[in-house]
Structure formats: structure tokens, C-alpha cells
Amino acid sequence: MNRYQDTMDRLRFTPEQKEDMVDRLMASEVATPRRVLPIRRLAAAGVAAALVLSLGAAGATGALGEVGAAFSAIFGSSAQTEVIDKIGYPVGASDTDHGITVTADAIVGDTYSYAVVYTIQREDGTALVSDDVLARAANPETEALPLAFQSHDTTPRGYKGGSHARTWFFDADPADNAIQFVELRTQDTPIQPGELTVQLRDLELYNEDYTACTTLAEGSWTLKFQLDFEDSSRVLPCGQTFRLDGAEAELNTITLSPLSIQVDYTVHGAGDPSLDWIEPLSLSLTYTDGTTLDLSHAGGSSAYGEDGVNCQKSMIFDQILSLDEVASITVGDVVIPVTQ
């Protein structure tokens, strides 16, 4: 049996609110559960205007500079422009139903992970959400718009594995009538080039205490576009052993990219199958200047096999990295250099 986990530690909701949101999302798709996390930064003034202009030019010119603008609200306005333009591309796929258009603006990806930014807006130019709803996103206790899709299915063609994701809504520019939706997804097997189908249904609004939803806008939207990244991932040398909660664990592979990290390891003699072997694993990144980035809150998956518990701990970073600035990865007490 596969178990999927994604940390909830950084959510700024009460435990009851978190549980309610997770239950709703888990019920919509058992095979690939997903949980909503708040955006941790808002776009700087003017980002949305740059996004609209740049995405309009993308289809005609094929230029990639607009990818950084599309993701500036996710990875920060100082995102590694050259790096993000290399690993991503504008999309432009859209679908309209009940007078509402959903457009996939841009995508970035690597071996196991990808991130997509969508824009949602009414065709008649009226605002999709009220000022009161926008004000709720400004509350530091929530940070994200209190919205959810009633159902959300993301399916790469022919994919049989599992995945875990973070999704949330935000407003890049309160002066326009559009809002944005972002999905950060990690698979447990490598992404294969090909068509991705995204199916969305009914936009819903959470009440003030996040215990229930009402329908904000009915609709069914299906978008299809290609997964075809220039993969800049590095596979680090592994095979080292370490102790994890009293059991012996072995590192199988570590895949590092400017977008994400995935650590594959096996816990031998794990014993009780109900134990969690994802959260206890300490994981960090050390930069060449000596500073560190704690990644222990990453989510992942585990599956019981003949050799023990096979685990994958992974996450998409808060910022796009330049791998030239990464010195090493530490898993448990094992330090793995990143060769420059």
C-alpha cells in the first residue's frame, strides 16, 4: 500500500480548519491526495501587468522571459531568471465554461516535479471574487484566497503512479478581474514527455471559519498541454547508510534540480507498518557560503516491499536555486557533496 504525505506545519489555520480542508481534497481523489497550502508571499505591484503583456507575446515569439514573471509570485520577483527560463515555458492553453475562462499561463519542471500557474477570469470583465474575499487573503492568518475547486484531477497520459501536491489561489493584481491558481506537484516516478490533462470543476468559497464551502462559480474546465522540460536535474552519488528512528536506512538516489529535491531511501527492519518513515528524516541543503536551508518538512511517500520500506521524501523549493551555489545535501547524518 502506498501512503502519501505532505507537511501541514506551515499552514496558518487552526487544526480543525486544516483537517476539514484535507478531508475535502482527499475525498476527491484517493490515488493522488493533495492539500492546500497558503502562498507565502504576494506578487509585487506591477507583476500582473507584466504577466499579461509577456504572456501575450509568448505565443508569437516563443520567448521564455515571461516564465519568470508568471512565477514571480511563487518563487519571488528575484527568481533566477536564466534558470527558470531554461526549465520552463509559456503554455497558453485555456477552456471556457459558464462565462469563466481558465488559462494555464506557464509551467516549470524537472525529473519528478512541475509547477503550473493558471489565471481565472470572467469573460464579461466583472470581478470573479468580491473585495471582501480579497481582503481575507490579506489576513496574515490565512494569506491565500479562501477558494477551492470542488474537484481537481491532473493526469499525465499513461501515468500509473502516485503523486502529492500543493495548491492555492492568490490575486496577482487586485486592480484586474482575474485571480491565479497554482499547482506544485511531485510524482513518485520520472515525468515522461507527453500530454497532461487537467480537469477542474466548480469554484467554491470557504466560509469564515473554513468549515464549509459554497459554490462561487459553476463550471467544468479541461485543459491539455505538453510536459516536455529541459531537465537540469543532477543525480548525486548514494549508497550510504544511516540510522532513522533506531532502524537502518540506505540512501538509494538523490535527485536535485533548481526546482526541487527528491530523496529515495529504504528503511530495513522497519517493523511496525503503521510507523511514519517520512517526517522523522532530517534533510537540509548547504550553500557554498555556508548558510543552510532546512528541508525536513518535505512530504513524500512510502511503500512496503521485500527489502523494507521504500521511501521518497521530496519537495518543490520556495525559490528557484542556482545549483552552482549549492555545496552539499545532508540526509540524516550523511553529507553528500554537490559537484560543481
- Residues in a beta bridge with 251: 265
pLDDT digits (tens, 9 = 90+) for 194-244: 999 999 999 999 998 889 999 999 999 999 999 988 888 999 989 999 999
- Hunting for cell 552552482 — which residue is that? 324
Which pLDDT score, from 0 to 100, does residue 275 have?
A: 84
Clarify whether residues 261 and 135 are in a common domain. Answer: no
Report the C-alpha gap between 27 and 8 in whole angstroms: 17
Of the ranges 129-143, 162-176, 270-284, 287-301, which one carries the lowest mean pLDDT score?
Answer: 129-143
E strands, 48-87, are: none
Looking at the predicted structure, is the pLDDT value of residue 98 above 60? yes
Share of the chain above pLDDT 90, in %: 54
> Closest Cα partner for 295 from 278, 270, 308, 310?
278
Strand partners, 206: 213
Residue 13 has pLDDT above 50, yes or no: no
Of 199, 227, 255, at which residue does a domain stop? Answer: 227
Strand, helix or coil for residue 206: strand
What percent of the chain lies above the pLDDT cut of 70? 77
Among 184, 211, 227, the domain-final residue is 227
Quick check: 43 pLDDT over 60?
A: no
- Cα separation, 252 vs 188, whole angstroms: 14
- Structure confidence at residue 163 (pLDDT): 84
Of residues 275 and 22, the one with the higher pLDDT is 275
Domain span holding position 85: 2-227
What proportions of the chain, in percent to the nearest 5, are helix, strand and coil? Answer: 15, 45, 40
Q: Over the stretch 122-139, which tens digit does the pLDDT of each residue have?
A: 999 999 999 899 888 876
Q: What is the pLDDT of residues 233-243, one digit of tens each?
A: 999 989 999 99
Query: Are residues 146 and 193 both part of a single domain?
Result: yes
No. of helices (H) and no. of strands (E), the chain: 6, 20
pLDDT of 2 > 60? The answer is: no
Q: Structural domain tally of the chain?
A: 2
Distance of alpha carbon 208 from alpha carbon 222, whole angstroms:
30
Based on the fold, state whether residues 267 and 221 are members of the same structural domain.
Answer: no
Is residue 232 within 8 Å of residue 271, measured between CB atoms? no
Confidence of residue 77 (pLDDT cuts 50, 70, 90): low
**pLDDT confidence of residue 107:** 95
- 69, pLDDT greater than 80: yes
Residue 98 CA neighbour count, 13 Å, CB half = 11
List the one residue out of 116, 120, 192, 122 whose CA is nearest residue 154. 116
The secondary element (H helix, E strand) that includes residue 107 is strand 100-109
Q: Which residue has the cell 509568448?
A: 58
Average pLDDT across the chain, whole number? 80
Higher pLDDT, 340 or 277: 277
Measured distance CA(10)–CA(110) in Å, rounded = 24
* 127 and 183 housed in the same domain: yes
Note whether 222 and 239 are same-domain residues. Answer: no
Largest CA distance in the chain: 61
Mean pLDDT is lowest, of 58-72, 227-241, 272-286, 305-319, for: 58-72
pLDDT tens for 169-185 read 999 888 889 999 999 99
User: Looking at the structure, do residues 87 and 178 belong to the same domain, yes or no?
Assistant: yes
pLDDT at 54: 32
Same structural domain for residues 240 and 222? no
Does 248 share its domain with 217? Answer: no
The residue length of the chain stands at 340
The answer to whether residues 58 and 148 belong to one domain is: yes
Distance CA 38, CA 127 (A): 22
3-state secondary structure of 121: strand
pLDDT of residue 62: 36
